Amino acid sequence: MGINHIVRGIMIGGSLGVFASLLGMVDMGRGAAWGMLGGFFAGLTLARRAEKRAEKNRQSNRNKDAE
């Protein structure tokens, strides 16, 4: 699984949570934690999509090579 996607999601989510806390929506710790949690799941989704896309491309290349 793509660890880069997951780490990127956690970092972006955490920064959005901190930004929300600076706007006064939530306190700092809670905003960062919820943002990181959401970013983790977003990163998982991106990693799965990238993995499926790569597998689809590999199958397409195999079919082209077989012809």
DSSP label of 62? H
pLDDT of 62 higher than 80: no
Quote the mean pLDDT of the chain.
90
Q: Residues 30-50: pLDDT tens digits?
A: 999 999 999 999 999 999 999
Cβ neighbour number for residue 46 with a 10 Å cutoff: 16
pTM: 0.79
CB-CB neighbours of 55 under 10 Å: 10
- The pLDDT value given to residue 67: 62
Percentage of the chain lying above the pLDDT 70 cut: 94
| CA-to-CA dists, residue 7 to 3, 12, 14, 58, angstroms | 6, 9, 11, 25
> What is the C-alpha separation between 32 and 26, in angstroms, rounded?
9
Domain boundaries, the chain: 3-66
